[in-house]
Amino acid sequence: MKAVLALLTILLPASVALSQETIALAIEGWRHEVRNDVHYYRCASQICATGSVVSTKEQPHRTTISMAEFEKHHRGLAAQNKGAGLRDVRLSDIKERALEGVRVMQVSRQVDWDDNTTTFTIESRLIGADRSFSLVSDSPKREWTVNNFEGFLRQMVNIAGLKKP
């Protein structure tokens, strides 16, 4: 996946004293849309896998979140949503790593739906010095999910590592 434009930073004045920062990625082959502060990127070319979706959202900045809290949250979501059209939810590869000073916590999830389809997901929280983001990759195949996630991760690490103005 080739990043045509790694990131766009646009400052929009909210008032004389304050400004709100909007950050979005422009990735070749992906269609971008925003709904309720979530940036969705949907595969729109042959360089990514059909049915793939990657989403990002700025999150409350919590530098003290533990891996135990992160895992508990995702296990709770899996348990809470079981039965809502899904047959089974499995979590795996719960891990933490640091990339360029940004803490990355992630979990892989496999959802088996009642219609006999499966969705593979990687959910993550990126915590930089001044800001935090979620990064989620979904697709019908595990390897596509991983490739999409890793392709977006580098750019999101760059954004999460930015200092607030």
- What is the pTM assigned to this prediction? 0.81
pLDDT above 80: residue 4: no
pLDDT at 12 exceeding the cut of 50? no
Mean pLDDT to the nearest integer, 32-38: 92
pLDDT on residue 46: 81
Q: Are 25 and 6 in contact (CB under 8 A)?
A: yes
Q: Is the pLDDT of residue 23 over 70?
A: no
Helix (H) or strand (E) segment spanning residue 124:
strand 118-127
pLDDT value at 14 more than 70: no
The mean per-residue pLDDT over the stretch 126-141 comes to 93
How far apart, in whole angstroms, are the C-alpha atoms of residue 105 and residue 96?
4
Distance CA(14)–CA(111), nearest Å, equals 41
| pLDDT over 70, % of the chain | 85
Q: Is 33 exposed, middle or buried (0-12, 13-18, 19+ CB in 10 A)?
A: exposed
- For position 47, what pLDDT does the model report? 78
> Would you state the pLDDT for residue 21?
60
* DSSP category for residue 164: P
Q: Domains along the chain?
A: 5-160 (3.40.1000.10)
pLDDT of residue 34: 93
C-alpha torsion 49→53→54→55, nearest 10: 170
Scan for tokens 């595969």, then name that residue.
Answer: 43
- CA angle (129, 73, 159) in 5-degree steps: 25
Distance of alpha carbon 10 from alpha carbon 118, whole angstroms: 38
